[in-house]
Amino acid sequence: MSILRSVSYGGGVQSTALLVLAAQRRIDFPLFVFANVGDDSERAATLRYVAEHAKPYATEHGIELAEVQRTRRDGTVETLHGRLTRPGSRSLPIPVRMSNGAPGTRNCTADFKIKVVGKEMKRRGASKDNPATIGIGISVDEIERANTRRVEPHERIVYPLLDLGLRRVDCQRIIREARLPVPPKSSCYFCPFHRPETWHDMRRQEPDEFEKACQLEDLLNRRRDELGKDHVYLTRFARPLREAIPDGVDLLPIFDEADGLCDSGWCMT
């Protein structure tokens, strides 16, 4: 049996439902680990939810909710936004859309979620001989995101919501019945996997975050101009974000398998 049982907590609906289920002792996970990719990177609404609702609820029910971040060898914290904007950096660890609409390489989940949680598990005693069991909040309606192929030697990945046959709507009900508000969808505010309607809602409801995402896209493309490279975008429309998501225009829901496809389950849960 694993010496550690922990949920990778993302601050969204599915992993918050896991928190409630753990509090109710319907699943056995005494530890939840929130890998914060940066206060300058996570959506502000998610950070507020974790601080104002998730952490107090966990404490009340005897569950440890630990918040960890990526640290450099000198002990300083590295954020995802910080890596993207570091002077002279050519790194593009997020899946920006190339000029043909296809997503680029993605290292953000591995570097700022998986490795950070793994490091914390090893610090707590997990090893190859005694791997930690890590619960991931993927629900039945997102079963295609379940992927046990990428596993660190000191971890064993499980999917408690799949075992219980729970869908996202069930997770929302579980949270409400626990008298908690349903959390917003968790992600980085500049994530290129946002669906068009998510960007539209952000522009209307969280204009400051939308503008920061636009400014980041502008910065990345100024640097690409200096390198003589094609522009990259935060949507699949091959246009700057401000143009791709027009202000004051209502969008019908647009489903595209290329949008919102973060297949790891470590981020948007």
- The pLDDT tens digits of the residues spanning 11-43 come to 999 999 999 999 999 999 999 999 999 999 999
Contact in structure between 64 and 23 (CB atoms under 8 Å):
no
In the chain the domains, ranked by start, together with CATH numbers, are: 5-187 (3.40.50.620)
Q: What is the pLDDT of residue 9?
A: 98
Q: Would the pTM of this model clear 0.85, i.e. be above it?
A: yes
Q: What is the rounded distance in angstroms from the CA atom of residue 159 to the CA atom of residue 251?
A: 34
Q: What is the rounded distance in angstroms from the CA atom of residue 37 to the CA atom of residue 69?
A: 6
Q: What is the rounded distance in angstroms from the CA atom of residue 56 to the CA atom of residue 211?
A: 31
Q: What is the pLDDT of residue 259?
A: 46
What residues contact residue 262 under an 8 Å CB cut-off, 6+ apart?
A: 109, 145, 187, 191, 193, 268
Q: What is the pLDDT of residue 91?
A: 76
Q: What is the rounded distance in angstroms from the CA atom of residue 263 to the CA atom of residue 269?
A: 11
Contact in structure between 68 and 36 (CB atoms under 8 Å):
yes
The CA R_g of the chain, rounded to the nearest whole Å, is: 19
Q: What is the secondary structure of 79-130 as a DSSP string?
A: -HHHHHHSTT-----S--B-TTS-B----HHIIIIIHHHHHHHHHTT--SSS
pLDDT, averaged per 10 consecutive residues of the chain (269 residues), comes to 86 97 98 98 97 98 98 95 91 88 85 94 95 96 78 89 98 98 95 94 96 97 93 94 84 47 59
Q: What is the pLDDT of residue 223?
A: 94
What residues contact residue 41 under an 8 Å CB cut-off, 6+ apart?
A: 79, 80, 81, 188, 189, 190
Q: What is the pLDDT of residue 58?
A: 98
Q: What is the pLDDT of residue 89?
A: 83
Q: What is the pLDDT of residue 86?
A: 93
